[in-house]
Structure 1
Amino acid sequence: MATTPEIAPNLVRVSHQDAKTFAISLLTASGVSARNAEITASALVQADSRGVESHGILRLPSYLARVRNGVLDPVAEPTLTHITPVVAQVDGHNGFGFPAAHLGMDTAIAMARVFGIGMVSVKHSNHFGMSAWIVKQAVEADMMSLVFTNSSPALPVWGGREKMMGVSPIACGAPGGKGKDAKPFILDMAPSVAARGKIHKALRRGEKIPADWALDGEGKQTDDPAKALEGVMLPMGGPKGSALAIMMDVFSGVLSGSAFAGGVTGPYDMSKPGDVGHFFVAIKPDLFMNLDEFKNRMDILYQKVVKGEKMHGVDRIYFPGEIEQLSEEQRLKDGIPYAKEEIDVLNAEAEKLGVDKIPLME
């Protein structure tokens, strides 16, 4: 008989469905439509289920604070404009980023089904959480994809010292091999050594961070998340990470007509609208062969990767996105772990809005 894994004393578990229902209740109580609340809550809980808690439902208090401060419109509906048969643009109208992103990828997928490729630019949007949920949206439609976004300044350009570029994730994906054990290719990575959301998570939980993640306000390495948030994130690979961050600004900000070059407002900033830009591409994978052959080739790639010879000290090689997929499978069964302090923050939000507290698993 399977048993629930032990968790640290300061952690409690919540079922993924209860977490989603709770998130929907906070959003609808704040004026978000039922459909947009469903899209947003689903994306946030997917992040928690995949072990990306930095982009999960703990983001809701900052989002809702922006609603209360009048810099995020909870009732805004994204609108779609077709430019060519394979190009479209979504205007998020300063609403939640999740519905705008969902519409963008849904539109790209629909165009790709007919024409082989679809490209959508999104303007005047907001933070959309973990990029992998949008990649999964494409994968579940048997599509390859590119998912770009820009974000608020946190990273210096290489050689500089001021915050200018965002820690803007680059993500892409492709359907995996055939069968129930198929592992899709899902890459979702920041151009910095670590995502800034991980620093916010460490701050919430009273944890230190690795000293090579960020610099404090004086330009010194720090393991204190509070000091790190006063300074800058460090790009991965030096100039390479810096160049990727600039690329995200080109495709997401400059191209879309949204903010760029340090002009994006972050989800923890209550001063003005985010004006975030996104860029999505969906590609039909059976353009040059049938879908079965493509999936068989993806399975060969997967097997070659994970069964390769391992370096000393490595027990297992994982395909990009596989660790998160395994986490999701486990947490769908056993629940999502949260720190008690995080639950307190969520319940405080529930009290403000007059909705039920989040239920814990026994």
Structure 2
Amino acid sequence: MAETLLYTPEELTAFAAAMFRSAGMTDADAALIAGDLVKANLRGVDSHGVSRIPMYLERLRHGLVNPRPQVKVTRVAGAVAHVDGDNGMGFIPSSVAMDTACDIAGEMGIGLAGVHRSTHFGMGACYALRAIERGFISLIFTNSSPAIAMWGGRTSFLGASPIAAGIPGGQHPPFVMDMAMTVIARGKIRLAAMKGDPIPEGLALDQDGNPTTDAAKAFEGVCLPFGGIKGSVLGTLMDLMSGVLTGANFGGDVKSLYFDHSEPQNVGHLFFAIKPDLFMSLTDFGARMDEFYTRIKDLPRASGVDEILLPGEPEERREAQRRRDGIPVTANVVADLTAEGAAVGVAFPKARA
């Protein structure tokens, strides 16, 4: 197990923002991406946190990502907008798209924004949380580079292509869902490979199609879909809706974030925003959400279970704990970030005592 060091979210955010500014990004865009990466770390989704900075910077250096995209929003129908990401970091057009969908929903009751010419957009829950902050229900779809096989195939074709969703709560925490179509997110396999940790059986195959617990071989091989054929079908839906529908790459054409430096990814995303008071008052909706929460908490618990948690609750509690105690970062990730920073004159912060 790799050594782990603790850092404050403020220090990691400042470092990440400085690194993206060094790559030519604006202060506002650098701050947006840094905030989303550290938010992932705070919520315990370390696979989508600051460990990704070197990989993102490499794609910027190769000219595969536009450091200063001119994101274009076109209203194509009453409740629908099309967003051209201009090959910028996916966080940027995705933030614009989620805000646009919310703006339209405020006007029309429901809003939809489709994005093309984007790249990996980080942790999907970030966009659900943005919509919740504005008081909207949201659904977030994306496609991604090949990671899992089509059901019946043996080579990667579909992306891990996560789906995220958010529903504002009443007096209790909101519902926040974010899950990939793999048994676990591919980024978590990558993080295990970086740590030198094995992975459990049943998550992936190596390049030859053999089951493996070696995280490095799994990362280079094929991830398995959750729920067998059901995960494969949902992955297909994500590719059709996020790729085919939006005008982005699809059907195995999304370029690998990790291994393919031949051209931009052209990832597609789809953002839905819905007013929660379409069918009743906001007060009544909040009360119904509270009643749902209470019913969940009062359910009979399985053996060994102290509390039933709603999606988003574990992450919310972990964020509170990490804001208090610090964000853990493994020593090998610290070494990578320190080296990246030294190359451009940005010092990595010191670990907490």
- The aligned counterpart of 2:280 is 289
- The aligned counterpart of 1:3 is none
Q: Does 1:26 align with 2:19?
A: yes
Q: How does 1:130-169 map to 2 (within 5 A)?
A: 130-169=123-162
What letter is aligned with 2:14? Answer: T
What letter is aligned with 2:125? Answer: A
Aligned partners of 1:165 and 1:314: how far apart in 2? 35
Whether contact under 8 Å (2:118, 2:268) holds in the other structure is yes
Q: Does 1:227 align with 2:227?
A: no
Aligned residue for 1:18, secondary structure, equals helix
Whether contact under 8 Å (2:2, 2:331) holds in the other structure is no
Whether contact under 8 Å (1:127, 1:266) holds in the other structure is no
- The aligned counterpart of 1:214 is 204
What letter is aligned with 2:316? Answer: Q
Q: How does 1:323-362 map to 2 (within 5 A)?
A: 323-362=314-353
How much has 1:328 moved relative to structure 2?
A: 0.7
What letter is aligned with 2:218? Answer: A
Q: How does 1:174-189 map to 2 (within 5 A)?
A: 174-178=167-171, 182-189=172-179
What letter is aligned with 2:191? Answer: K
What letter is aligned with 1:196? Answer: R
How much has 1:77 moved relative to structure 2?
A: 2.8
How much has 1:9 moved relative to structure 2?
A: 8.1
Whether contact under 8 Å (1:78, 1:93) holds in the other structure is yes
Q: Does 1:115 align with 2:105?
A: no
1:126-167 per-residue CA deviation (whole Å, 9 max, x = no partner) reads: 001110000000011110000000000010011111110000
Task: Report how many residues are paired.
Answer: 352
1:197-252 per-residue CA deviation (whole Å, 9 max, x = no partner) reads: 00110011111111111011221211101111222000111110000000000110
- The aligned counterpart of 2:257 is 267
1:26-69 per-residue CA deviation (whole Å, 9 max, x = no partner) reads: 00011011111111111111100000000001111001001111
Match of residue 166, structure 2, among 148, 167, 173: 173
Q: How does 1:36-185 map to 2 (within 5 A)?
A: 36-178=29-171, 182-185=172-175
Match of residue 232, structure 2, among 229, 242, 247: 242
Aligned residue for 1:226, secondary structure, equals helix
What letter is aligned with 1:315? Answer: D
Structure 2 unaligned regions, length at least 5:
none
Aligned partners of 1:224 and 1:206: how far apart in 2? 9
- The aligned counterpart of 2:194 is 204
How much has 1:316 moved relative to structure 2?
A: 1.7
Aligned partners of 2:276 and 2:28: how far apart in 1? 29
TM-score, normalization: structure 1? 0.95
Aligned partners of 2:249 and 2:156: how far apart in 1? 15
1:106-144 per-residue CA deviation (whole Å, 9 max, x = no partner) reads: 000011111111000000000011100000000111100
- The aligned counterpart of 1:304 is 295
Aligned partners of 1:101 and 1:199: how far apart in 2? 25
| Change beyond 3 A, Cα 1:354–1:287 | same
| Change beyond 3 A, Cα 1:348–1:9 | closer
Whether contact under 8 Å (1:108, 1:282) holds in the other structure is yes
How much has 1:360 moved relative to structure 2?
A: 2.0
Match of residue 305, structure 2, among 314, 324, 331: 314
Whether contact under 8 Å (2:162, 2:180) holds in the other structure is yes
Aligned residue for 1:88, secondary structure, equals strand
Aligned partners of 1:245 and 1:238: how far apart in 2? 11
Please, what is the CA RMSD of the aligned residues? 1.1
Structure 1 unaligned regions, length at least 5:
1-7
Aligned partners of 2:17 and 2:306: how far apart in 1? 40
Aligned residue for 2:156, secondary structure, equals coil
Whether contact under 8 Å (2:242, 2:269) holds in the other structure is yes
Aligned partners of 1:38 and 1:190: how far apart in 2? 26
Aligned partners of 2:350 and 2:284: how far apart in 1? 46
How much has 1:335 moved relative to structure 2?
A: 1.1
Aligned partners of 2:58 and 2:112: how far apart in 1? 33
Whether contact under 8 Å (2:141, 2:271) holds in the other structure is yes
Aligned partners of 1:293 and 1:96: how far apart in 2? 39
Aligned partners of 1:300 and 1:323: how far apart in 2? 20
Moved over 6 A (4+): none
Whether contact under 8 Å (2:2, 2:195) holds in the other structure is no
